[in-house]
Amino acid sequence: MKMETITRFYCLVLSVLALAQSQTAVAQQAGNQRPNFVVIVADDMGFSDMGAFGGEINTPNLDKLAGEGVRYTNFYVAPTCSPTRSMLMTGMDNHLVGMGCMYEYLAPNQENQPGYEGVLSTEIPTMAEILQANGYHTYMTGKWHLGKNKDHIPAARGFERSFSMLSGSGSYFSMNGPDEESTPNHYVEDHQYLKELPKGYYATKTFTDKIIEYIDSNKGDGKPFLAYLAHQAPHDPLMVPKDYLRKYKGMFDKGWDVLRDERLERMVKMGILSEKTVMGERLWYVPGFDKLKPAAQVVTARKMEVFAAVVDYMDMQIGRLMDYLEKNNLRENTYILFFSDNGPDVNDKASTYKNYPSTNNANWMAKTYTHGFQNWGRAESFTCYGPSWAQLSTAPFFGFKYTTYEGGTRSPLIVVSPKGTNAGQVNTEALMHVKDIAPTLLDIAGIAQPGTFKGKSIPAMQGKSWVSTINGNRTSPRTADDYLGTELWNSKSLRKGDWKIVNVMLPHGTGDWQLYDVKNDPGERFDLAASHPEKLAELLANWDQYMVENNVILPNRTPYDGMEDKLPPRPPVYAPDFSRGSEVPEKG
């Protein structure tokens, strides 16, 4: 009898243990069923730089992702990095979450105003904080640019593990910043501010090393993860490892005019653009490439060769991350997103500083870097590719980083879903925005948006979920009545359906509201404000609503004040029947 009791007890214990193990296995299985998210962001990469969007740069890994996922051609970001990243993190307009203006350029009338703190607001949760609270691992590596003190670094904003450059740019090889004031640059790993970088540091590789390390550290525990890889590439200063320095020698000898047209032709064949698309105006202050002397052509092309190498190397590292996920059976339940934070940069800091030789930054630049043609792309050179090549990166659009023209705010987007829904397709209809990403990830994960944060009520995210669009049930997450507003440094735009109004200050714009049918005129070539006054009035009324709803304070000072006459007068752009060439059409 006693033995029977012991036996029964032993069997009961085994049953309980088996049940516990079964429940654990079910829990792990359920955890594994919740998807992982990999969000990869390039910095200052143009709409058509990668092969999958018409570029000639070698990007086989991004092209492969495009073939496995969907390319979206109407995806919008902010004109610069910090505002874009603030919206990515929160699902809210940048003017509501501390990034109404970048802290480096805050206007006097914006100081001490809510939404203009110059750091990401701690009153609104990040998607990392929400995902982490709901059982996700959260990892971040790369450029942060949303705050530097201990309360604003990635580790304080929901990232379980992080390795980050906190400022906006700097050397790819060292702690040198973009100027004397920012040197040494600020880096953190988790909560620890770094005094030196890892041995053999190269930003693009190290950021990839770290994100793989973090994912690998917990890969067997059954919990899903968010991995946010924010590349510094291809932001200036353009620097690459030595074996990439000459990879693109001769590739760009045709010049920007010919290559812009070739990109446009490829985009038309890919279905990214209509065959009726007219190329955006070539920057009026940039000469035709064929007008340069042969020696100048070779020297100028070298800058684009370096830029291409930086993009190519980033693509290779993205491929390394994809290979890791594949080999560890993590791809089949992972959503992958890739986009650029804004358009390409036209500024050439090294050349600019030469024009102001008595300034501290000019002196610092001269003693810190060497600028000879043969040195471009190396660690000891501060290389930028300038407006001539930036307009190639933005093809077929007009404008660039800092402006609210399409070239500054329309970004290439690739979304890969685990089921491979609509793989290889191009979606030219969906109107999408970077602030949609946070609510989309939460929706996919089955996580409700919180109504409170830190004991206070918070508004619902403004972004729209893409789930129905990703699944192929809806063409676009937005209706005909929805609109997207953008403002930075008094450059303004609003997109609604096929229409867009834009007002960019001198010297890069006209300082007046313009109206474009961007579905048929993505190059913003033909201003329809005079011929469609009712549509202009409609969108201006929406603009007024946008300003009120998002606490937009137009600055009383911008970085472009005093520069109105620094560029030659812009010639008129006429609209006769003409080819899609880069040249401004002649008046008939």
One-character DSSP codes across 530-572 = TT-HHHHHHHHHHHHHHHHHTT----S--TTTT-TTSSPPPPP
- Give residue 373's pLDDT: 84
Most confident of 87-96, 343-352, 372-381: 87-96
- Give residue 31's pLDDT: 44
pLDDT band at residue 389, thresholds of 50, 70 and 90? very high
pLDDT band at residue 12, thresholds of 50, 70 and 90? very low
- Give residue 234's pLDDT: 99
Q: 3-state SS string over 188-214?
A: EECCEECCCCCCCCCHHHHHHHHHHHH
- Give residue 573's pLDDT: 55
pLDDT band at residue 368, thresholds of 50, 70 and 90? confident
User: Does the pLDDT at position 9 exceed 90?
Assistant: no
Better-scored residue on pLDDT, 348 or 583: 348
Better-scored residue on pLDDT, 587 or 69: 69
Give kind and range of the element (H or E) at residue 88. Answer: helix 81-90
Q: Which amino acid would we find at residue 276?
A: K
- Say if residues 231 and 142 touch (Cβ distance below 8 Å): yes
User: Does the pLDDT at position 6 exceed 50?
Assistant: no
- Residue 37: what are its φ and ψ, rounded to 5°? -130, 130
Q: Please indicate whether residue 81 is annotated as part of the active site.
A: yes
Of 95, 137, 145, 152, which is the active-site residue?
Answer: 145
Q: Residue range 335-343: average pLDDT?
A: 99
- Give residue 356's pLDDT: 62
- In angstroms, the CA 554 to CA 543 distance is 13
- Give residue 354's pLDDT: 64
Q: Residue range 365-373: average pLDDT?
A: 83
CA pseudo-torsion sign 297, 303, 308, 313: positive
User: Does the pLDDT at position 128 exceed 50?
Assistant: yes
- Give residue 383's pLDDT: 93
CA angle centred on 433, ends 517 and 120, rounded to 5°: 135
Residue 338 DSSP code: E
State the average pLDDT for the chain. 91
CA angle centred on 170, ends 415 and 202, rounded to 5°: 70
Of 81, 101, 231, 433, which is the active-site residue?
Answer: 81
CA angle centred on 266, ends 262 and 267, rounded to 5°: 115
CA pseudo-torsion sign 481, 484, 487, 493: negative
- Give residue 588's pLDDT: 38
- Give residue 374's pLDDT: 87
- Give residue 14's pLDDT: 37
Report the share of the chain in percent with pLDDT over 90.
82
- In angstroms, the CA 47 to CA 442 distance is 27
- Say if residues 406 and 398 touch (Cβ distance below 8 Å): yes
> Strands of 491-496's sheet, edge to edge?
484-488, 491-496, 499-503, 514-517
Residue 512 DSSP code: S
- Give residue 482's pLDDT: 98
User: Does the pLDDT at position 384 exceed 70?
Assistant: yes
Q: Taking Cα atoms as reference points, which of 246, 173, 555, 58 lies closest to residue 187?
A: 173
From residue 9, give the alpha-carbon distance in Å to each of 12, 16, 74, 178.
5, 10, 66, 71
- In angstroms, the CA 23 to CA 6 distance is 25
- Say if residues 398 and 343 touch (Cβ distance below 8 Å): no
- Give residue 166's pLDDT: 97
- Say if residues 87 and 96 touch (Cβ distance below 8 Å): no
- Residue 434: what are its φ and ψ, rounded to 5°? -60, -30
Q: Which amino acid would we find at residue 164?
A: S
- Residue 79: what are its φ and ψ, rounded to 5°? -70, -15
- Say if residues 279 and 395 touch (Cβ distance below 8 Å): yes
- In angstroms, the CA 410 to CA 527 distance is 18
Cis previous bond, 555, omega within 30:
no
One-character DSSP codes across 445-482 = HT-PPPSEETTEE-PPPSS---HHHHTTS-S-SS-TT-
pLDDT band at residue 564, thresholds of 50, 70 and 90? confident
Cis previous bond, 184, omega within 30:
yes
151: which 2 tokens?
A: 């309360």
Each residue's pLDDT tens digit, 24-58: 333 333 345 899 999 999 999 999 999 999 999 99
pLDDT band at residue 1, thresholds of 50, 70 and 90? very low
- In angstroms, the CA 456 to CA 562 distance is 44
One-character DSSP codes across 272-329 = SS-TTPPPPPPPTTSPPGGGS-HHHHHHHHHHHHHHHHHHHHHHHHHHHHHHHHHHTT
Q: Please indicate whether residue 145 is annotated as part of the active site.
A: yes
Q: List beta partners, residue 487.
A: 492
Q: Residue range 367-389: average pLDDT?
A: 90
- Give residue 355's pLDDT: 65
Torsion of Cα atoms, 196 then 199 then 200 then 206, to 10°: -70
- Give residue 353's pLDDT: 64
pLDDT band at residue 358, thresholds of 50, 70 and 90? low
Each residue's pLDDT tens digit, 404-443: 999 999 999 999 999 888 899 999 999 999 999 999 999 9
- Say if residues 340 and 411 touch (Cβ distance below 8 Å): yes
Each residue's pLDDT tens digit, 154-212: 999 999 999 999 999 999 999 999 888 889 999 999 999 999 999 999 999 999 999 99
User: Does the pLDDT at position 2 exceed 90?
Assistant: no
Each residue's pLDDT tens digit, 479-524: 999 999 999 999 999 999 999 999 999 999 999 999 999 999 999 9
Each residue's pLDDT tens digit, 239-295: 999 999 999 999 999 999 999 999 999 999 999 999 999 999 999 999 999 999 999
- Give residue 228's pLDDT: 99
Q: Hey, what domains does the chain have and what are their CATH numbers?
A: 35-484 (3.40.720.10)
- Give residue 357's pLDDT: 66
- In angstroms, the CA 71 to CA 50 distance is 12
Least confident interval from 89-98, 467-476, 556-565: 556-565
